[in-house]
């Protein structure tokens, strides 16, 4: 099979045949899978892309697992919407004191689970001190490859992705000075207190009525800062934080709707 045919087959297999092994080999989340942690976000996109105007946003791209999945899903449903994707592709820049593991306290309803996980991690690793730099299997997310991500985007002709590269502290404020359009949805997956504190008010303000924000780390067992920042903002504004339906064995996920 020549390269053009192979490319077409790969694209169609991803879009229409639900070939899980292809998604896994490419490091893309399988948006068809009923167990995907982002399935509620994908369902929202499928259901409302024609009814609600605006583009999609992603904060925290890493190697593009969720970004490429969302882009392919938009292609599958023949949506012309774009995804603006923000990351420095270098990993965490700094930590706030609200990211320290000792911030998991009684205000986190999930306190016991955090202690158990911490115990398991301690038993499972030679590292005696677990902290916010080594608690994730990806460490501080230094190992992302922007070049590899670009290669995948180009190979699959995903022309609906706009990458905004750099530290959120610089890119987000600058970008939204001139971006005045309403927002359809956002996938917030940036782990730490300061990114959530900075980005959430901007996004929520521009979110369309009935728009959707997926908050990936609200129930995080690793990073307490997300919940602290989201609670601070939502309590002040009286915004309801909703929990997705999950299987018994599954990690909880939360979202905001406007």
Ligand X SMILES: C[S@@+](CC[C@H](N)C(=O)[O-])C[C@H]1O[C@@H](n2cnc3c(N)ncnc32)[C@H](O)[C@@H]1O
Residues making contact with ligand X (CB under 6 A): 60-63, 65-66, 87-88, 91-93, 141, 144, 167-169, 189-192, 195
Least distance CB 63 / ligand X (angstroms): 6
Please name the residues in contact with 83: beta carbons below 8 A apart, sequence gap of 6 or more.
55, 56, 57, 58, 67, 70, 71, 74, 160, 161, 162
Least distance CB 65 / ligand X (angstroms): 3
Task: Enumerate the H helices of the chain as residue ranges.
Answer: 3-16, 20-26, 39-48, 65-76, 111-124, 146-155, 168-178, 193-206, 225-237
Least distance CB 38 / ligand X (angstroms): 8
- State which residue, 30 or 144, has the beta carbon closest to ligand X: 144
Least distance CB 27 / ligand X (angstroms): 8
Contact 166, 192 (CB under 8 A): no
Return the exposure string of 214-227: e unless at least 16 CB atoms fall within 10 Å of the residue's CB, then b.
bbbbbbbbbbbbbb
72 burial type by CB count under 10 A (0-12 exposed, 13-18 middle, 19+ buried): buried
- Measured between alpha carbons, how far is 156 from 148 in angstroms, rounded to an integer? 12
- State which residue, 113 or 167, has the beta carbon closest to ligand X: 167
User: Three-state SS for 188?
Assistant: strand
Least distance CB 224 / ligand X (angstroms): 15
Residue count of the chain: 258
- Measured between alpha carbons, how far is 103 from 224 in angstroms, rounded to an integer? 6
User: Three-state SS for 249?
Assistant: coil
- State which residue, 7 or 36, has the beta carbon closest to ligand X: 36
Q: Which of 182, 161, 185, 164 is nearest to 174 (CA)?
A: 164
- State which residue, 63 or 160, has the beta carbon closest to ligand X: 63
Least distance CB 70 / ligand X (angstroms): 9
The three state secondary structure string of 137-157 is CCCCCCCCCHHHHHHHHHHCC
- State which residue, 7 or 37, has the beta carbon closest to ligand X: 37
- State which residue, 149 or 207, has the beta carbon closest to ligand X: 149
- State which residue, 66 or 160, has the beta carbon closest to ligand X: 66
Least distance CB 50 / ligand X (angstroms): 25
């Amino acid at each position: 099979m020549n390269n053009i045919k192979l490319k077409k087959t790969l694209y169609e297999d991803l879009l229409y045949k639900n070939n899980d092994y292809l998604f896994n080999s490419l490091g893309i989340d399988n948006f068809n899978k009923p167990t995907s942690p982002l399935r509620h976000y994908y369902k929202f996109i499928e259901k409302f892309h024609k009814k609600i105007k605006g583009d999609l946003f992603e904060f925290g791209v890493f190697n593009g697992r969720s970004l490429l999945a969302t882009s392919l899903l938009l292609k599958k449903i023949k949506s012309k919407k774009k995804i603006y994707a923000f990351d420095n592709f270098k990993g965490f820049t700094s930590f706030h004191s609200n990211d320290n593991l000792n911030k998991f306290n009684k205000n986190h309803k999930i306190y016991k689970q955090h202690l158990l996980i911490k115990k398991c991690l301690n038993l499972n690793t030679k590292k005696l001190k677990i902290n916010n730099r080594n608690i994730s299997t990806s460490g501080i997310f230094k190992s992302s490859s922007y070049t590899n991500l670009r290669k995948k985007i180009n190979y699959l002709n995903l022309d609906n992705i706009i990458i905004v590269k750099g530290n959120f502290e610089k890119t987000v404020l600058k970008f939204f000075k001139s971006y005045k359009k309403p927002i359809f949805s956002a996938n917030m997956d940036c782990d730490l207190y300061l990114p959530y504190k900075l980005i959430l008010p901007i996004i929520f303000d521009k979110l369309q009525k009935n728009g959707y924000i997926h908050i990936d780390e609200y129930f995080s067992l690793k990073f307490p800062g997300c919940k602290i920042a989201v609670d601070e903002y939502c309590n002040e504004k009286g915004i309801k934080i909703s929990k997705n339906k999950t299987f018994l064995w599954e990690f909880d996920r939360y979202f905001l709707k406007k």
